[in-house]
Amino acid sequence: MAGELPYVYVTTTGWKTGNPHTIEDCGVEITFEGPETEAMVDKQLEMLQTALDKDPDAIAFAALDSVAAIPLLERADEEGIPVVGFDSGVDSDIPVTTAVTDNVAAAAYAADMMAELIGGEGQVAVIAHDQTSRTGIDRVTGFTERMEEEYPDIEIVDVQYGGGDHLKSTDLAKAIILAHPDLKGFFGANEGSIIGVLNAVMELGMEGDLVVIGYDSGLLQMDAIRAGTEAGAITQNPVGIGDKAVGAAVMALRGEELEEEIDTGFFWYDAENIDDEEIAALLYE
């Protein structure tokens, strides 16, 4: 034990923190931290190493690289420390459960909305954050497979990975747009990716010429949706993800049975519903 209360270590990149009132009710001491960006895999692994050295009672972990963290999680398993995956998950059977959005289903819904908004035909492209996290893999898979299976007249002309970095994603999006003058739609698979797409659209003076669909939220994306530059986006349930991850860690400490996955849901938002109470509570600036 790290202290008088059971100690739960939580790491992600910074916004799925949960409801502090609910977390306080769990009766645990929590350390929450994460690197500044989703590209900082090594920094996250250093944080996890340091946390393990402090002998936590449980770990809630949103992996930036679903494979790279496995050796440290194997150490946690050997030391009897239960691991709860959340958001991105881990490619391992070590986590006792994973609190996660069904990213395949969510991205497939984004594909449905794209197909509807571009009239069921034309060229579209994708910018995603990475090919290593579970979220990056599943969002690209969900979007591309739905297009291939349900919309034969829509062609995905390119899928690129910008590491969630605004500048890199902007450069990639501009290159794709310039290479495909008939492009009708663009999907950005996380906040950093979609901001890059929006930057490219604005820098090229193409507002209104492309259907842009995003994922997550953030002030710039929300402003773009209100302005009509972006058609809409998928949001996860960030508060619910944090609550369920910590709650699952507490249940594991108590020896309670857990499902393999805890589905935390997703929502579509656009200019019509962005200010609705139910949606506004899920969006972060």
Residue 15's pLDDT band, with cuts at 50, 70 and 90, is: very low
Residue 83's pLDDT band, with cuts at 50, 70 and 90, is: very high
pLDDT digit string (tens) for 18-44?
443 344 556 778 888 888 877 788 999
Q: Name the residue among 88, 150, 160 with its Cα closest to residue 114.
A: 150
pLDDT digit string (tens) for 219-246?
999 999 999 999 999 999 888 888 888 8
- Alpha-carbon torsion 250, 92, 169, 237, what sign? negative
Q: Which two tokens stand for residue 57?
A: 């009672």
Please provide the average confidence, as pLDDT, over all residues in the chain.
Answer: 89
Residue 5's pLDDT band, with cuts at 50, 70 and 90, is: low
Q: Is the pLDDT of residue 13 over 60?
A: no
Asked if 45 and 73 count as a contact pair (C-beta separation under 8 A), the reply is no
pLDDT digit string (tens) for 242-274?
888 888 998 999 899 999 999 999 999 999 999
Q: Is the pLDDT of residue 16 over 70?
A: no
pLDDT digit string (tens) for 52-82?
999 999 999 888 887 888 999 999 999 999 9
User: The pTM is what?
Assistant: 0.76
The answer for residues whose C-beta is within 8 angstroms of residue 20's C-beta and 6 or more apart is none
The domains located in the chain, with CATH, are 7-100+237-254 (3.40.50.2300), 103-236 (3.40.50.2300)
